[in-house]
Amino acid sequence: MTTQTIGLEVNPAEELIRLGPLAVRFLVTGENSSGTVAIFEVVVPAGQRLMAPAHSHDHYEETIYGVEGVLTWTVGGKPIDVGPGQALCIPRGAVHRFDNNGSQDAKVLCTVTPGVLGPQYFRETAEAAKAAAGGLPDRAKMMEIMRRHGLTPAPPPTQS
C-alpha cells in the first residue's frame, strides 16, 4: 500500500482571528482537507457572555472538545458544561450557543464536518463588530453574514 505524503503540513490554515473578546485560531479548513473537515480553537475569556445569537446549521455537525476551563453550551435549551477532556457533538439542526460562566478562560477545539464553515465567516463577523466601534453590531448585517455562511439564527427567546 502506498501512502501519499506530498503536501502534508501541520496546521495548514494557521490563522488567528480576533472577534471582540474571542480568539478563533483556524488549524485546518475545508480548503486544506478537500472539504472533509474544518478544525479551529476558540478561546473565551472568563465570565464572557457572547453577543452571538443562538443558531443552528443544517449542513454540518459541530464537535466541541474541551481543552481548558469550562464553556456552557446551551443546546436545544439545555445547558451542558464542557470542560477539559470532554467532548460534545452538536447534530445538524440543533439550536445552540455558548458562554463562559466560569472564573477561568476557556479553550475548546471545534471540529466541523464536512468542512464548510471557514475563517471567512469569522473575518466578516469581526469586521461587522469593529464597524460598531464598541457598540452592538448591526443585527441585520450579522444575520445576513450568518445566513450566507450556513448558520440559521434562532428567534430570540420569548419573555414570559
Average pLDDT, the chain: 90
List of domains in the chain: 15-151 (2.60.120.10)
Say what the pTM is: 0.87
Residue 156 pLDDT greater than 70, yes or no: no
CA distance 113 to 59: 9
Q: How would you list the strands of the sheet with 61-68, edge to edge?
A: 15-19, 22-28, 38-44, 106-113, 61-68, 87-90
pLDDT in tens, 11-31: 878 899 998 889 999 999 999
pLDDT-derived band of residue 158, with 50, 70 and 90 as boundaries? low
The torsion of the CA quartet 95, 61, 49, 23, rounded to 10 degrees, works out to: -160
pLDDT-derived band of residue 139, with 50, 70 and 90 as boundaries? confident
Phi and psi angles of residue 38, each rounded to the nearest 5 degrees, phi first: -130, 135
pLDDT of 94: 97
CA distance 79 to 99: 10
Q: Are 92 and 63 a contacting pair, CB within 8 Å?
A: no
Phi and psi angles of residue 125, each rounded to the nearest 5 degrees, phi first: -65, -40
Residue 3 pLDDT greater than 60, yes or no: no
Largest CA-CA distance found in the chain, in angstroms, rounded: 63
pLDDT-derived band of residue 69, with 50, 70 and 90 as boundaries? very high
